[in-house]
Amino acid sequence: MKALLQRVARAEVRVGGDCVARIERGLLVYVGVAPTDAPADARKLADKVVGLRIFPDEQGKLNRSVRDVRGGVLAVPNFTLQADTRKGRRPAFSAAAAPDQARALYETFVEALRTAPIDVASGVFGATMAIRSDADGPVNCLVEVPPAPPGTAPMR
């Protein structure tokens, strides 16, 4: 599984003009699922997201997690994170999981987030969503579970 994290001052998801999810300070997390991913990967990714120290402490060092700052997480399903862009100009999406598998693992990820003492909001799987966010930093991280081995191409 892959997640693109953006530290935000606030973020929201709109579907059809209606706000369906919103957080204040925290993380906007785009989640992509691969066919080889399993429920254990979803839970491990959620634990990594909640514990990743990308918020500043009193000295301005990135030493605090979203849990430490009592922030929120807005999770957004995003199959395009699995895009292979190495050839040509049109991304290939063969590395993305089928919709039923992706939905189940995305939901496992969100449920695992909910076990942490943080505010959790979720986008709508399969919907066309408008995402608004105010970046904080900016701080952005790509997290992969399991991580790609060093020096290897992420997708084949």
Q: pLDDT tens digits, residue range 11-56?
A: 999 999 999 999 999 999 999 999 999 999 999 999 999 999 999 9
99 membership: H or E segment, kind and range: helix 99-114
Q: Is residue 144 part of a domain?
A: no
Name the domain count of the chain.
1
Q: Is residue 149 part of a domain?
A: no
Q: Is residue 21 part of a domain?
A: yes
Q: Is residue 141 part of a domain?
A: no
Q: Is residue 9 part of a domain?
A: yes
Q: Is residue 154 part of a domain?
A: no
**60 Cβ contact list (under 8 Å, min separation 6):** none
Q: Buried (b) or exposed (e) across 111-142, using 16+ Cβ within 10 A?
A: ebbeebebbbbbbebeeebebebeebeeeeee
- Domain residues for 40? 2-131
Does pLDDT of 148 surpass 70? Answer: no
The model's confidence at residue 151, banded by pLDDT at 50, 70 and 90, is low
Taking the C-alpha atoms of residue 105 and residue 66, their distance in angstroms, rounded to an integer, is 22
pTM: 0.92
Q: Is residue 105 part of a domain?
A: yes
Q: Is residue 140 part of a domain?
A: no
Q: What is the CATH number of the domain that holds 71?
A: 3.50.80.10
Note the pLDDT tens digit of each residue in 83-116.
999 999 999 999 999 999 999 999 999 999 999 9
Q: CB of 4 within 8 A of CB of 52?
A: no
